[in-house]
Amino acid sequence: MARKVLLATEKAFAKTARDEVIAILKGAGYEVPVLENYKNKSDLIAAVADVDAMIIRSDVVDAEVLAAAKNLKLVVRAGAGYDNIDCKGAREKGVDAMNTPGQNSNAVAELAIGMMIYMARGKFGGKSGTELKGKRLGIHAIGAVGRGVAAIAKGGFGMTVKAFDVIPPDQIRAAGAEPVETLEDLYSGSDYISLHIPANAQTKKSIGFRLLNMMPKGACLINTARKEVIDDAGLLEALEKRPDLKYATDIEPEAATLAVIKEKFADRVFCTPKKLGAQTEEANVNAGLAAARQIVAYFEQGVKKFIVNP
Ligand code: 3PG
């Protein structure tokens, strides 16, 4: 019986990407059910019932989905962050989880830069704004996206670029930024902070009032990472006490936070309508095709590269 590989994307890929993903998987002899733009978790639960593998984006694969996926052997997150997968639960069920690191990073880096320009120019409202040239950019975690942001900011805009990360200083320099020793140094010395940390037990709610209040006058936080890393109460407090601070995010905060933002801080906060950092045709093709190829290599040759829940 042919293997079944489900393409489950609550936020659909561009058509070219979707079609090529399906072609690769069908070319390997697999059946490829597609569940796109679904609204209810029950649809996903029904769709996973008999699949051997699945490709997802930010789609949530939790204990309930894993329990329903009786034949599942592999779930591939077409993208970088895999906080949407219950990795431990998957391991307990013998299900491998993979990501496709770096494949969509340029799209996210370009969006982060776009958001900086948008905020520097007062959200294109017509008032006199500022330029990025000569400003200080702090990159909080310099992985694939952070490196991309650093390269564009330095090479394209003449910003000075520093970064904080847990990797050794020479690796930060090799990634294109001057290392700083502490997070406090980064936040207190940056006109813009671009966040690129993953959401995990250590980072959740780690960006709050204390760090934001250290930022220089008129500074702006750019979040294309995850909403979970923000301490919403601390963010609102910082916006309240510091009328000069700005915040741009690609991930809509919780409804209660968003309501306060809309009511009080709409002039200096920007939020994309839907997480769209990786929503380009190129990123969809890169990440989608990588995911499809990883699945074929896994089943046909036993290739286990990119497993994130060993
Ligand atoms: C990622 O982790 O790869 C990005 O956040 C993109 O997520 P998306 O595929 O849901 O757009």
Tell me, in angstroms, the distance from the centre of ligand 1 to residue 217's CA.
31
Is the per-residue pLDDT at 7 higher than 90?
A: yes
- pLDDT value, residue 101: 97
- Percentage of residues in the chain having pLDDT higher than 70: 100
pLDDT value, residue 99: 98
**pLDDT tens digits along 282-296:** 999 999 999 999 999
CB of 289 closer than 8 Å to CB of 24: yes
Measured from the Cα of 78, ligand 1's closest atom is: 9
DSSP 70-92: TT--EEEESSS--TTB-HHHHHH
Q: Are 105 and 289 in contact (CB under 8 A)?
A: no
CB-CB contact of 137 with 162 (8 Å):
yes
- Contact indicator for 197, 228 with CB cutoff of 8 Å: no
**Residue 275 C-alpha to ligand 1 middle, in angstroms?**
8
- Write the pLDDT tens digit of every residue in 113-160: 999 999 999 999 999 999 999 999 999 999 999 999 999 999 999 999
Q: How far is CA 133 from CA 7, 156, 201, 304, in A?
A: 43, 9, 36, 44
Nearest atom within ligand 1 for CA of residue 79: 3
In this prediction, what percent of the chain has a pLDDT beyond 90? 99
pTM: 0.96
Which residues are registered as beta bridge partners of 97?
A: 75
The ligand 1 atom at the shortest distance from the C-alpha of residue 58 is 10
Flag whether pLDDT at 1 surpasses 90.
no
**Are β-strands 74-77 and 5-9 bridged in parallel, bridged antiparallel, or unpaired?**
unpaired
The full set of domains in the chain, from first to last, is 5-103+280-301 (3.40.50.720), 105-271 (3.40.50.720)
Q: Which residue's C-alpha comes closest to atom 10 of ligand 1? A: 58
Residues with CB under 6 A from ligand 1: 11, 57-58, 79-81, 104, 275, 277-279
Q: Cα-atom radius of gyration of the chain, to the nearest Å?
A: 20
Q: 42, 52, 40: which is closest to 94 by C-alpha?
A: 52
Count CA atoms closer than 13 A to 89's CA, side-chain side. Answer: 16
Which of 36, 58, 99 most suits a substitution to test ligand 1, by most atoms within 8 Å of the C-beta? 58
Ligand 1 atom having least distance to the Cα of 100: 3
Q: Mean of the pLDDT values across residues 151-179?
A: 98
Nearest CA to ligand 1 atom 6: 278
Q: Rounded to whole angstroms, how far apart are CA atoms 218 and 197?
A: 23
Going from the Cα of 79 to the center of ligand 1, the distance in angstroms, rounded, reads 5
**Is pLDDT of 274 > 90?**
no
Q: Is 64 helix (H, G, I), strand (E, B) or coil?
A: helix
Q: Give the C-alpha separation, 4 to 11, whole Å.
A: 21
Q: What pLDDT, on the 0 to 100 scale, is given for residue 194?
A: 98
Dump pLDDT digits (tens) for 70-104.
999 999 999 999 999 999 999 999 999 999 999 99
Ligand 1 mutation target, pool 38, 57, 75, 203, most atoms within 8 A of CB:
57
Is it the case that residue 111 has pLDDT exceeding 90? yes
Residue 42 is which amino acid? S
User: How high is the mean pLDDT of the chain?
Assistant: 98
pLDDT in tens, 193-210: 999 999 999 999 999 999
